[in-house]
Amino acid sequence: MGNNLYVLDANVFLEYIFGRPLKNYSQHLIKNAILNRIKIIVPSLLLDEITGVLCGNLDNVEEIQKHLKYIEHLAKEGAINIIVPNSNVRMKAIEIARTGNRKSGYPELTDSLYHALAILNGAVFVTNDSKHISKVEQFEHIGKLSDISTDII
């Protein structure tokens, strides 16, 4: 894609945390951000989504805290930039979420917030959510985790 600004979906971080099949792709993105080869921005919602998944899937609270502190560390070191979406991002997200139809379904507002952040910042929203991608392809600025990270140095 030739872009160096990315908005990562929570599921990108969860690939790594849970050792899922695309773990190496998410690791590659984070490593490139740490090395300043790319820039990553995420909506503040990411922290809530990851916390919710960890709360529901990990019994060990120390392990949950370790993952949350690592994300905070990435932000403190500048590898990721956590942004509270403003009204422009929220309105674009509403526009995205209202596309679709009853048959194919509508995009989730949470996914649309990530996507809107990418669109308004000229970034690429990286997700594992094929359903979201198929519903919103007309907005562009979106790609699958397995496709995007191979474009990076």
Q: Residue 18: its pLDDT value, please?
A: 95
Q: Residue 80 maps to which CATH number?
A: 3.40.50.1010
Considering its fold, how many domains does the chain have in total? 1
Instruction: Look up the pTM and report it.
Output: 0.91
Tens digit of each residue's pLDDT (9 = 90 or more) over 103-129: 778 899 999 999 999 999 999 999 998
pLDDT of residue 1: 41
Band of pLDDT at residue 151, cut at 50, 70 and 90: low
pLDDT tens digits, one per residue of 67-83:
999 999 999 999 999 99
pLDDT at 149: 59
- 31 is in which domain, residue-wise? 5-151
Rounded to whole angstroms, the Cα distance separating 39 from 42 reads 10
